[in-house]
Structure 1
Amino acid sequence: MLPATLKLFCGISHQHLRTLTGLQWLAVGTLGTEMSRFILSKTDSCLPSMPDSLQKLCLKLGINTNLNHEKIPALSSKDLFYLNQAEDTLQKAILMLQQEGWQATKDEKNGDRTANKKIPQIGNVFRTEAVIDSPPEHIYMQLFENLEHMDQWNPGISKVQILHRIGKNTLLTREVTAQLPITSISQRDFVSVRHCCQAGSALYLIGTAACSQLMPPQQGVVRAEAALSCIVLRPLEGDSRKTHFTWLLSVDLKGSIPQFLTDKALPQSQVDFISHLRRHLSSPEKS
């Protein structure tokens, strides 16, 4: 049971885990907390506290237990709070990825697929899947390392700011949407904690809404909240030069926008984002 459960939290599908109920899910959730806490950790100091059996299983499943990243200095209570937010979001996202019952929203001609599912305590979550002709590492560079340049290739974004860095793999950011005359949704901004981590060959890009005195609400812009964003980048089976791209997204746009407009806008924004990303990655001038 333990190896199968670890596979779940490494993003590896295991059919019988989808039918667990009651105390079984409680046990899985407990282990999930420990696994997500380990995946989020980027210091060698976490390894001595891991049982040998767990380290061996992680190695067998492809999780790198010797990341050799620079150690994070002593963290403030606020930074620890942000890391806990990222940990909780990662755990929730991995559980969602294993769930069935997603309702198809739209299938694009190019093979991209969107679906949605109502998740308790979160609300509507939109799931978009696509294949992109670029390796996961290249996409990761554009969506995390070069995050501040996103406005140069995505017309839906007017600005992305890194407000604060927590180690190498966690950021506090502000993202401002563009004011597009063709939409009925006015300009929004999002303050989020973002984290990247790796499990096997998969890269996870996590995001969730955060509060920060570094960027209070701004006049003339509605402060929206991303309850959950999780992008999973996996090498396409049979062709590692391509990426299987999965994106879970749940957003509260705030203001007085009717729910049906939000439900229409979010999946379309995902499709548009992937289209702009493809165009950027295929450009010889990409940074």
Structure 2
Amino acid sequence: MLPAVVKLCCGISYAHLRSTAGLQRTAVAVIGREIAHLERWGRIRPHMRTRAGSTHDEPKREAVKPVPAKDHQFHVQQGQEAMRKALAMLQDKDGWKVEIAESNGDVICSKVMPGGRKVFRMDAVLEAGVDELYDLLFARVEEMHRWNPSIQQIKVLKHAGPETIVTHEVSAETAGNLIGQRDFLSVRHSCKQKSSVYLGGTAIQLESYPPQAGFVRAEDGPTCIIIQALDRETRKSHFTWLLNMDMKGWLPKSIVNQALPRAQLDFTRHLRRRLTANATLG
């Protein structure tokens, strides 16, 4: 979804391991229903965590630089617009082709957008509730480097309201990485409709935070993650991730188009390990 969920490394191609028709049809149908709900409501309700007994603390507001009201609203609008565009891309059923189908059920499809950029959609089932995933992927995004080795640092630069943040991210330097380190400046927006959480984002520019020396500033978005509760008893969630990224620099498309879906698999593997560790500690 967001650049923080990408491991920037050179990938390898995969053979198609199995048919994905069942999962793909289910994912598209569910997304379509949720988007229809959003259109009828005319908005997406802000996500408020309601899980009883949560030990996660909210970000300390006093440690965050105040945002002028006009900037506040501008960033919120940027996040909402990015989410709207990303959801529309997911809703369009035409042109998706299977890239990777894992034996555990994870499926990655791709689609070539106008202009020639390839976007990737991942569908998976995770052993975690919606709120736990929201905490890991949004509320505690600055801690992501602790469990995702592809991230060197994520810093929240601004809070533009309870569910919109501006972040700067630096990817980790890894041996054999043909793509090299990137940094990202993004607005991230979170909202909830019924039992689903939506995490959207896109690249932005700030005069106060120009590109950093020594890094290529990549751009993501519009992109999103959709987390949908499957079973409250077993705390499973359906995870849909639209990855849409311009890596910038002088990189062949073939390398980028191999690296990005591999990054989705790597990220999901690290996320599952974190969820397993949380379950053991809990």
Q: 2:109 aligns with which of 97, 115, 132?
A: 115
- Cα separation, 1, equivalents of 2:281 and 2:183: 25
- Cα separation, 1, equivalents of 2:265 and 2:281: 20
Q: Would the alpha carbon gap of residues 112 and 225 (structure 1) be closer, same or farther in structure 2, given more than 3 Å must change?
A: same
Which residue number in structure 1 is paired with residue 175 of structure 2?
181
Which residue number in structure 1 is paired with residue 161 of structure 2?
167
- Cα separation, 2, equivalents of 1:282 and 1:167: 31
Q: Which has the higher contact order (CA 8 A, sep 6+)?
A: 2
Paired residues in the alignment total 235
Code of the residue aligned with 2:108 in structure 1: it is T
Identity %: 38
Give the Å deviation of 1:261: 0.9
Which residue number in structure 2 is paired with residue 83 of structure 1?
76
- Cα separation, 1, equivalents of 2:45 and 2:207: 24
Give the Å deviation of 1:76: 3.2
Give the Å deviation of 1:85: 1.5
Q: Would the alpha carbon gap of residues 236 and 40 (structure 1) be closer, same or farther in structure 2, given more than 3 Å must change?
A: closer
Which residue number in structure 1 is paired with residue 88 of structure 2?
95
Structure possessing the higher radius of gyration over alpha carbons:
1
- Cα separation, 2, equivalents of 1:280 and 1:192: 24
Please tell me the root mean square deviation across aligned C-alpha atoms, in Å.
Answer: 3.0
Q: 1:282 aligns with which of 269, 276, 279?
A: 276
- Cα separation, 2, equivalents of 1:238 and 1:184: 42
- Cα separation, 2, equivalents of 1:268 and 1:249: 12
Q: Please, which moves more after superposition, 116-125 or 96-105?
A: 116-125
Q: 1:39 aligns with which of 41, 44, 51?
A: 44
Code of the residue aligned with 1:269 in structure 2: it is A
- Cα separation, 2, equivalents of 1:122 and 1:239: 43
Q: 1:264 aligns with which of 258, 263, 267?
A: 258
- Native 8 Å contact 1:40 1:87 kept in 2: no
Secondary structure of 1:138 counterpart: helix
Code of the residue aligned with 2:209 in structure 1: it is M
Give the Å deviation of 1:97: 2.1
Q: Please, which moves more after superposition, 233-242 or 151-160?
A: 233-242
Q: Would the alpha carbon gap of residues 199 and 222 (structure 1) be closer, same or farther in structure 2, given more than 3 Å must change?
A: same
- Cα separation, 1, equivalents of 2:231 and 2:91: 19
2:33 is the counterpart of 1:13: yes
Secondary structure of 2:44 counterpart: helix
Secondary structure of 2:118 counterpart: strand
Q: Please, which moves more after superposition, 232-241 or 91-100?
A: 232-241
Give the Å deviation of 1:99: 1.8
- Native 8 Å contact 2:126 2:272 kept in 1: yes
- Native 8 Å contact 2:165 2:189 kept in 1: yes
- Native 8 Å contact 1:280 1:286 kept in 2: no
- Native 8 Å contact 1:153 1:276 kept in 2: yes
- Cα separation, 2, equivalents of 1:166 and 1:146: 16
- Cα separation, 1, equivalents of 2:169 and 2:281: 20
Give the Å deviation of 1:272: 0.5
Which residue number in structure 2 is paired with residue 50 of structure 1?
none
- Cα separation, 2, equivalents of 1:147 and 1:77: 25
Q: Would the alpha carbon gap of residues 228 and 239 (structure 1) be closer, same or farther in structure 2, given more than 3 Å must change?
A: farther
Q: Please, which moves more after superposition, 156-165 or 86-95?
A: 86-95
TM-score (norm 2): 0.75
Q: Would the alpha carbon gap of residues 32 and 274 (structure 1) be closer, same or farther in structure 2, given more than 3 Å must change?
A: same
Q: Would the alpha carbon gap of residues 121 and 167 (structure 1) be closer, same or farther in structure 2, given more than 3 Å must change?
A: farther
- For residues 196-239 of structure 1, the C-alpha deviation after alignment (integer angstroms, 9 at most, x for no partner) is 10011110011110112342111111110002220000012585
For residues 212-231 of structure 1, what are the structure 2 equivalents within 5 Å? 212-231=206-225
Structure 1 unaligned runs (5+)? Answer: 1-7, 18-30, 43-72
- Cα separation, 1, equivalents of 2:168 and 2:238: 27
